[in-house]
Amino acid sequence: MKRRIFIAILLPEELRIKLAGFQEVLGQFNLRWIKPENLHFTLAFIGWTEEDKIITIKEILKNIAQKNPPFLLRLIKIILGPNEKYPRMLWAIGEKEEMLEKIWQEIRKKLKESQIFVDERHPLKVHLTLARARGGELFGKKIDQQIDLNFLVKEIAIVESHLTPRGAEYQILERFLLKS
């Protein structure tokens, strides 16, 4: 049986609550807001994957987590994504962090070595989606709101995504604590 999966950094509850507060600040836009419990940073979207490959991915993540320490991730602004010309989402942007970049590169390298597809067209964009536009709601709009939120990344996770008419629902398959 295939499962639709991705590798993510999950957010602590207090940060999810703070980010959900931007719904009130930016509520004038007709957006479909991501449920606070679903907010995350995607490190690698893998897509439909056989069970045996999921076992391999879990081993890869376990090994990477055991070698890398926790690190601080800082969110610095809210912007429109994926680009200003055709904005479809509201993103919280994080600062590029050396340890995050290292873990991201290791994950991609090990997945490729295991012949597990991961999209290599895009460089690391440290962002999380706060909301999605309904149609062209965000065309011609400008949002560039400075924020200063940070959290200690202590784990990475493999997550299954279930697509429903109400949006994606996520099930954490396994968490991997970073080396302490």
* Residue 121 in this model has a pLDDT that exceeds 90: no
Of residues 26 and 54, the one with the higher pLDDT is: 54
Copy the structure tokens of residue 160: 């299954």
* Residue 58 in this model has a pLDDT that exceeds 90: yes
Residue 165 pLDDT class (50, 70, 90 cuts):
confident
pLDDT digits (tens, 9 = 90+) for 123-152: 888 999 999 988 888 888 888 899 999 999
Q: What are phi and psi of 130, to 5 degrees?
A: -90, -35
Cα(134)–Cα(84) distance, rounded to whole angstroms? 16
Cα(155)–Cα(40) distance, rounded to whole angstroms? 12
**Percent over 90 (pLDDT), the chain:** 72
pLDDT digits (tens, 9 = 90+) for 63-98: 999 999 999 999 999 999 998 888 999 999 999 999
- The domains of the chain are located at 6-177
Residue 112's pLDDT is 93
CATH class held by domain 6-177 = alpha beta
